[in-house]
């Protein structure tokens, strides 16, 4: 009796383990499926003209997304100009100056902001920039992405800066260096790799954002290098093509998606590589 | 320190100290301003949404939230179908994602062999890195046809006696929206639950093992019941993300403002009505109504995230205290 009960408990434990394994497989499954279809549908449409040509009008086969790819990088550039200095210096405040209470509050606000739906940023920047200027613009799109980056980078840079050993700070201060110079030359320099990692991750995250760009950058079928005019972006172009009724556009949407995912994943993998060597160096 | 400053002539001391103190003050204030910019951002968002939606707030008052007529031509706006759609699609997403995510988190912290844990975590992070619009693209061209041809007819045949699974099958539907949101919130619930389970003190597990419990019994008695508040926080955090999902949902939910029981029928969410109609809004009232939809969405996600963060943080702090 007792023996068989014990066996039943063992079997139950094994069953639940198997069930948990199954769930883990199911969680990973969408990743595999999305990748499989991206490669199958997208690979045939990614060719040289995709990277060099402008979109063709409806009905003409071919064309590319050159303007959208460049546009995405322009938007990321503007976003980085806003998000990186603000985020990193905000992180410096949390790591070097702030008190326990203030830090708790600011961290809390950052976490709340990270949960704000990205479409909200889109309409807020619409009200803030597009309405007064009376035009959709690359600038507005970049600002929307920059706003999303700020709380992300504040949190990440604080974490990275706290990893710098206090001995470094004390040694620098003992030599008579001003505190701000110590922060810039010793702390930020030591943490540089981690900061770059955090910034790249934040950029990869906003590079795929579509919702904040719908009413700010708006999209454009032509080249545009004027920051006050609407600009194309890869996610916007994918969205526009995906909901269109044309087969050739669907094919291009898959190609664009493949390119976008490859870009974000390359950054993610590179970052993983960077952090691995960093934690290995710290362990030494 | 005192003797050192005393031995330096007055002028030299000024040269050495004064400029750097000045730099310190400037730098400190600069970082302070940058850090408080996040507070400014919260206020900015709230203020913009409030200001731009004031027209609709004055015109419709509280009826905006409990009437279901959305008619841009007659300029009558009620957001109830969108609130309903957002709640139902998020609920479907939670029903699917919560068991899967928590079981995966248990697998990752309690059961899986060490060598497989890190690769699995990386894969889940990769799933989180897929942009919403790309998941939507996959949803439109792969998932929705599959659901329409295989899953929905089967559901209708086996569970058709429930009002949830009746009516015509279009493919794009509330259920499809819920499933795509589930996929989007799987990674966040999994990774937060994993953090929670990892912060359960090992003493808990050791005590249960010491009493002769099997692995599952240890997990159930010592880990899951200990961590239930934190896990609840992880679920609420997932809910917060689910409520605000935009692009993928917009592409598969069908975008029809209606309140019907059937999950096969198309729906509409707060986020997707903004995404779809914002650029088409021709009148001031229409635009203002859409801003109010945004205000509602913002308010709800802030509240949900606030609760979630408090639950998760309190749990992690108290269990860290228990270890000490």
Query: Within this chain, do residues A116 and A250 fall inside the same structural domain, yes or no?
Result: yes
User: Where does the pLDDT of residue B8 fall: very low under 50, low under 70, confident under 90, or very high at 90 and above?
Assistant: low
Residue pLDDT, tens place only, B302-322: 999 999 999 998 888 888 766
User: Burial level of B123, CB count in 10 A (0-12/13-18/19+)?
Assistant: middle
Query: Within this chain, do residues A63 and A104 fall inside the same structural domain, yes or no?
Result: yes
Q: What's the pLDDT at B1? A: 41
Q: What's the pLDDT at B2? A: 46
User: Is some CB atom of chain A closer than 8 A to the CB atom of B202?
Assistant: no
User: Is some CB atom of chain A closer than 8 A to the CB atom of B133?
Assistant: yes
Decide: B216 and A8 in contact? Cβ < 8 Å.
no
Full domain range(s) for residue A36 = 2-45
Total domains in the fold of chain B:
2
Q: What is the mean pLDDT of residues A182-205?
A: 92
Q: Residue B181 and residue B187: Cα distance in Å, rounded?
A: 11
Q: What's the pLDDT at A268? A: 85
Domain boundary among B45, B60, B75: B60
Q: What is the mean pLDDT of residues A240-266?
A: 92
Handedness of CA A183, A187, A189, A194 (dihedral sign): negative
Q: What's the pLDDT at A238? A: 95
Q: What is the mean pLDDT of residues A62-78?
A: 92
Query: Within this chain, do residues A57 and A23 fall inside the same structural domain, yes or no?
Result: no
Query: Within this chain, do residues A163 and A41 fall inside the same structural domain, yes or no?
Result: no
Domain boundary among B11, B44, B60: B60
Tell whether the model's pLDDT for residue A247 goes beyond 50.
yes
Query: Within this chain, do residues A27 and A143 fall inside the same structural domain, yes or no?
Result: no
Query: Within this chain, do residues B11 and B115 fall inside the same structural domain, yes or no?
Result: no
Query: Within this chain, do residues B226 and B242 fall inside the same structural domain, yes or no?
Result: yes
User: Where does the pLDDT of residue B9 fall: very low under 50, low under 70, confident under 90, or very high at 90 and above?
Assistant: low
What is the bridge-based pairing of β-strands B70-71 and B76-77? antiparallel
Query: Within this chain, do residues B135 and B34 fall inside the same structural domain, yes or no?
Result: no
Q: Is A117 within 8 Å of B302 when comparing Cβ atoms?
A: no
Q: Is A257 within 8 Å of B134 when comparing Cβ atoms?
A: yes
Query: Within this chain, do residues B31 and B77 fall inside the same structural domain, yes or no?
Result: no
Q: Is A118 within 8 Å of B241 when comparing Cβ atoms?
A: no
Q: Is A31 within 8 Å of B122 when comparing Cβ atoms?
A: no
CATH number of the CATH domain containing A237: 1.10.3720.10
Tell whether the model's pLDDT for residue A278 goes beyond 60.
no
Question: Out of A1-15, A187-201, B23-37, B169-183, which region has the weakest mean confidence (pLDDT)?
Answer: A1-15
Tell whether the model's pLDDT for residue A61 goes beyond 90.
no
Query: Within this chain, do residues A90 and A12 fall inside the same structural domain, yes or no?
Result: no
Instruction: Report the number of secondary-structure helices (H) and strands (E) in chain B.
Output: 15, 2
Q: Least CB-CB distance to A154: which of B35, B142, B237?
A: B35
Full domain range(s) for residue B14 = 2-60
Q: What's the pLDDT at B3? A: 46
Query: Within this chain, do residues A112 and A230 fall inside the same structural domain, yes or no?
Result: yes
Tell whether the model's pLDDT for residue A216 goes beyond 50.
yes
Decide: A218 and A232 in contact? Cβ < 8 Å.
no
Query: Within this chain, do residues B10 and B105 fall inside the same structural domain, yes or no?
Result: no
Between A1 and A94, name the one with better pLDDT: A94
Query: Within this chain, do residues A209 and A117 fall inside the same structural domain, yes or no?
Result: yes
User: Where does the pLDDT of residue A44 fall: very low under 50, low under 70, confident under 90, or very high at 90 and above?
Assistant: confident
Decide: B254 and B75 in contact? Cβ < 8 Å.
no
Q: What is the mean pLDDT of residues A242-271?
A: 91
Q: What's the pLDDT at A20? A: 95
Query: Within this chain, do residues A231 and A275 fall inside the same structural domain, yes or no?
Result: yes
Angle at the Cα of A211 from the Cα atoms of B102 and A50, rounded to 5 degrees: 105
Residue pLDDT, tens place only, B56-76: 999 998 889 999 999 988 889
Total domains in the fold of chain A:
2
Of all residues in chain B, the percent with pLDDT exceeding 70 is 93
Q: Residue A34 and residue A257: Cα distance in Å, rounded?
A: 10
Query: Within this chain, do residues B220 and B136 fall inside the same structural domain, yes or no?
Result: yes
Domain boundary among B44, B60, B76: B60
Residues 141-200 of B with CB under 8 A from A: 141-142, 183, 186-187, 190
Q: What's the pLDDT at B16? A: 52
Residues 78-107 of B with CB under 8 A from A: 99-101, 103-104, 106-107
Query: Within this chain, do residues B263 and B130 fall inside the same structural domain, yes or no?
Result: yes
Tell whether the model's pLDDT for residue A202 goes beyond 70.
yes
Query: Within this chain, do residues A131 and A16 fall inside the same structural domain, yes or no?
Result: no
Query: Within this chain, do residues B162 and B39 fall inside the same structural domain, yes or no?
Result: no
Q: What's the pLDDT at A226? A: 87
Q: What's the pLDDT at B43? A: 96
Query: Within this chain, do residues B212 and B262 fall inside the same structural domain, yes or no?
Result: yes
| DSSP string covering B168-213 | ---SSSHHHHHHHHHHHHHHHHHHHHHHHHHTS-HHHHHHHHHTT-
Q: What's the pLDDT at A284? A: 37
Q: What's the pLDDT at B77? A: 93
Q: What's the pLDDT at A111? A: 94
Query: Within this chain, do residues B48 and B81 fall inside the same structural domain, yes or no?
Result: no
Q: Residue B56 and residue A71: Cα distance in Å, rounded?
A: 35
Query: Within this chain, do residues A31 and A151 fall inside the same structural domain, yes or no?
Result: no
Decide: B238 and B98 in contact? Cβ < 8 Å.
yes
Q: Which residues on chain A are in Cβ contact (under 8 Å) with B23? A: 178, 180-181
Tell whether the model's pLDDT for residue B20 goes beyond 60.
no
Query: Within this chain, do residues A263 and A130 fall inside the same structural domain, yes or no?
Result: yes
Query: Within this chain, do residues B207 and B241 fall inside the same structural domain, yes or no?
Result: yes
Tell whether the model's pLDDT for residue B324 goes beyond 50.
no
Query: Within this chain, do residues B171 and B40 fall inside the same structural domain, yes or no?
Result: no
Residue pLDDT, tens place only, B118-143: 999 999 999 999 999 999 999 999 99
Q: What is the mean pLDDT of residues A18-31?
A: 95
Residue pLDDT, tens place only, B195-240: 999 999 999 999 999 998 999 999 999 999 999 999 999 999 999 9
């Amino acid at each position: 009796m007792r023996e068989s009960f014990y066996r039943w408990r063992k079997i139950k434990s094994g069953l639940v383990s198997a069930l948990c394994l199954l769930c883990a497989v199911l969680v990973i499954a969408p990743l595999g499926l999305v990748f499989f279809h991206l490669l199958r549908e997208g690979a045939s449409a990614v060719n040289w003209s995709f990277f060099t040509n402008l979109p063709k009008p409806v009905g003409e086969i071919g064309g590319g997304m050159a303007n959208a790819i460049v546009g995405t990088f322009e938007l990321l550039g503007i976003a980085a100009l806003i998000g990186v200095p603000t985020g990193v210096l905000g992180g410096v405040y949390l790591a070097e100056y702030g008190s326990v209470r203030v830090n708790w509050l600011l961290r809390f606000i950052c976490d709340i902001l990270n949960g704000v739906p990205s479409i909200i940023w889109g309409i807020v920047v619409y009200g803030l920039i597009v309405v007064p200027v009376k035009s959709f613009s690359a600038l507005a799109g970049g600002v929307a992405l920059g706003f999303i980056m700020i709380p992300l980078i504040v949190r990440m840079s604080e974490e990275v800066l706290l990893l710098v050993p206090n001995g470094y700070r004390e040694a620098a201060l003992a030599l008579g260096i001003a505190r701000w110079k110590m922060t810039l030359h010793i702390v930020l320099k030591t943490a540089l790799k981690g900061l770059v990692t955090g910034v790249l991750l934040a950029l990869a995250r906003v590079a795929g954002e579509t919702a904040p760009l719908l009413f700010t950058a708006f999209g454009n079928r032509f080249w545009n290098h004027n920051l006050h005019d609407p600009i194309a972006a890869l996610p916007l172009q994918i969205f526009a093509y995906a909901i269109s009724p044309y087969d050739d556009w669907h094919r291009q949407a898959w190609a664009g998606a493949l390119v976008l995912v490859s870009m974000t994943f390359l950054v993610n993998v590179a970052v993983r590589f960077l952090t691995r060597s960093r934690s290995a160096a710290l362990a030494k | 320190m005192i003797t050192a400053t005393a031995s330096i002539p007055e002028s030299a001391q000024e040269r050495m100290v004064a400029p750097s103190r000045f730099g310190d003050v400037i730098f400190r204030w600069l970082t302070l301003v940058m850090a408080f910019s996040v507070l400014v951002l919260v206020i900015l968002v709230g203020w913009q949404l409030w200001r731009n939606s004031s027209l609709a707030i004055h015109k419709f008052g509280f009826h905006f939230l409990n009437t279901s007529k959305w008619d841009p031509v007659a300029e009558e706006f009620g957001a109830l179908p969108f609130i309903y759609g957002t709640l139902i699609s998020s609920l479907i997403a939670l029903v699917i994602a919560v068991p899967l995510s928590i079981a995966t988190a248990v697998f990752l912290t309690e059961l899986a062999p060490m060598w497989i844990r890190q690769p699995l975590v990386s894969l889940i992070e990769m799933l989180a890195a897929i942009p919403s619009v790309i998941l939507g693209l996959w949803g439109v061209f792969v998932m929705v046809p599959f659901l329409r041809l295989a899953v929905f007819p089967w559901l209708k045949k086996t569970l058709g006696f429930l009002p949830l699974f009746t009516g015509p099958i279009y493919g794009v539907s509330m259920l499809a929206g819920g499933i795509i949101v589930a996929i989007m919130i799987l990674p966040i619930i999994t990774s937060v639950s994993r953090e929670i389970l990892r912060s359960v003190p090992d003493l808990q597990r050791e005590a249960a093992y010491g009493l002769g419990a099997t692995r599952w019994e240890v997990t159930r008695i010592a880990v899951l019941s200990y961590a239930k508040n934190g896990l609840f926080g992880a679920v609420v955090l997932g809910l917060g993300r689910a409520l605000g999902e935009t692009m993928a949902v917009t592409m598969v939910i069908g975008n029809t403002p209606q309140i019907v029981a059937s999950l096969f029928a198309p729906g509409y969410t707060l986020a997707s009505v903004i995404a779809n109609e914002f650029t088409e809004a021709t009148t001031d009232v229409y635009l203002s109504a859409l801003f109010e939809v945004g205000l509602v969405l913002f308010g709800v996600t802030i509240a949900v995230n606030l609760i979630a963060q408090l639950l998760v943080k309190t749990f992690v702090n108290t269990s860290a205290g228990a270890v000490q």
